[in-house]
Structure 1
Amino acid sequence: MPHVSSRRLRRTLATLALTAASVAATVPALAQQQVLNLYSARHYQTDERLYADFTKATGIRINRVDADDAGILARLKAEGSASPADVILLVDAARLWRAEQDGLFQPVRSAVLEQRIPAQFRGADTGQGSQWFGFSTRARVLVYDPTRVKPTDIDSYEKLAAPAMKGLICSRSGSHPYNLSLFASVIEHLGADQAEAWLKGVVANLARDPKGGDTDQIRAVAAGECGVAITNTYYYARLMRSTNPADKAVVDRTRVMFPNQSSWGTHVNISGGAVARHAKNRDAAVKFLEYLASDSAQRYLADGNNEYPTVPGVQTENPALAAFGRFKAETVPIAKVGANTAQVQMMLDRVGFK
């Protein structure tokens, strides 16, 4: 056995100790580099803060793929079991329901989510947990020109089909998910025959062919192109909070109506999330959904993108939401809204709602 000096032995042992310490320090560092693959239909720059805060709190980095609801669902089907997606975020109740029916999600049993997210904003519990959870809501309201339209003319969705509304309505495409969900809920309230007659009346009252997004409809009202527009609350809230003089002028020229306050309530849609069926990082995915139900994330959804929190009791500092005030929201089950959308699309084709 070769002779090793005591000095050399001490140096070797010291080197081994440093190496062991380095490896020990690297293990948590590698854990912090865990990646969560997120497919998101939320195209809101304000959400960047949400993702950054989650990474800061957990060390889990988010790799995001953006597309619209339909694009995400098509991609999940095409990728199958090879999909890298861990979490799916969609911005329409009917699409959440559709994805659940198509087997694109997996059930989640979480005490945190079940305690904080009301049952009306969760997928049905099949015994293994819910397959999706709603984290924010937005109301489908009417923005109108008070010099051309009286509040009593539009205090219900039904009145949009009245002869008095001839040539006054602006809307984005009837086939857009936000409108599909609204129209699907109308079927639940009026029945299929009356709902189709109503849609025919709305089409007859359009001021122009549907084009653009919700903000475009609001601006068209302010510009005098139409008298009333169908829009989600958060689009109008953005204009209310804007410092742009042109946006302030739009708000000054228009008003907001929450329809059906004396009957079934204003239609609300949700933005929600789910764990992908073939998620490779399930634990991190559940942790992210639970984070979205936290007070801080709920407040940011409200203050950052002008949405209503789904967790009861969360206090926000959003002046636009405060200005809207409290309102009666409809309580149509999400499953029924989703199930009606295919029927709505056929109605739209028949009545010519582009």
Structure 2
Amino acid sequence: MIGMRRTFDALAERVLAGGRATRDEARAVLGTSDDDLLDVVAAAARVRRRYFGNRVKLNYLVNLKSGRCPEDCGYCSQRLGAESGALSYTWLSPEQAADAASAGVTAGAKRVCLVASGRGPTDPDIDRVARTIAAIRERHADVEVCACLGLLGAGQATRLRDAGADAYNHNLNTAGERYADICTTHTYADRVSTVEQARSGGLSACSGLIAGMGESDDDLVEVAFALADLAPDSVPVNFLIPFDGTPMAGRWQLTPQRCLRILAMMRFVFPDVEVRLAGGREIHLRTLQPLALHIANAIFLGDYLTSEGQAGHADLDMISDNGFVVEAAGEPSLPTARAAAGMPVTTAGNMVAPPTNLVRLRRRGAGTDLPPNT
């Protein structure tokens, strides 16, 4: 154990000196034993502390349009032909979306993520999202706005930027060689192209992965380094929620320890990038969520698109109880060397729990469903 501790301490030192993990080192992190897990977490925590201190950035999802998606992504409750029970509804009005966004901002969210189901936006959809951004900005001028609308067409990223969007999310999800195993209606290359278009259009790139879909350690390393080549400013790490009615129903392959190793590997590959705890953290990390905060520097607050998250007040309690603080006004999210030009710094609101998000399904072990707030 002492030998492994020295190995990971040495890796942390090299990363802190300006390097990043090699592919072999990333595989080694994923392959550690449970006996060495705390040493891995401690080494990754040193890197996280250097670049992000004890700050946690809060992100909040607003589901603008739900269900009826023509794509067949195997992990998604909104996929073509899914029998998951996820609610379907057309676009929220700008005022409805702004109301939902205000719930997160009031609770301390620094970024609002506007998500819509579908293959990708039409030009009228971009106009609709532009009006929504304007409605949100009228109430919260300094909040960061990230759009997640699917595959982008020519010029759409620039239009979103001109409308006031700061960032665009489009995840690679898994290694390129196995992408066809999880989706057949678009390609891995389509996803890479969208991330590249977002960057070239002047938006901060947000792109991450989903773990727990049957991938190998090599697959995880491959997608991590493919993401690194795209140089995103934020990397959400999702853990599969195996929705009933989808091809991945019943696939419970992750343990809390496995999730921590994946997060540590991502931190060593992305030392100065926002690594975000995203979907599935509650059901897979469970009581080890606080340890994950020593690796990741951002979380989604409250609910997800079609599934229930941890209560907002519980997220805030977890942050404060473990010696972290919510990232506030005057604190840039990224280190100076990486900060995207023009990214605003938001003012954190009052630290109160938000109301429930728009749509939710019962998550494993959760209590009674709450009605959708549409």
Smaller-chain TM-score range? Answer: under 0.3
**Normalization by structure 1: what TM-score?**
0.26
Higher helix share: 1
**Normalization by structure 2: what TM-score?**
0.25
Q: Higher relative contact order by CA 8 Å / sep ≥ 6: 1 or 2?
A: 1
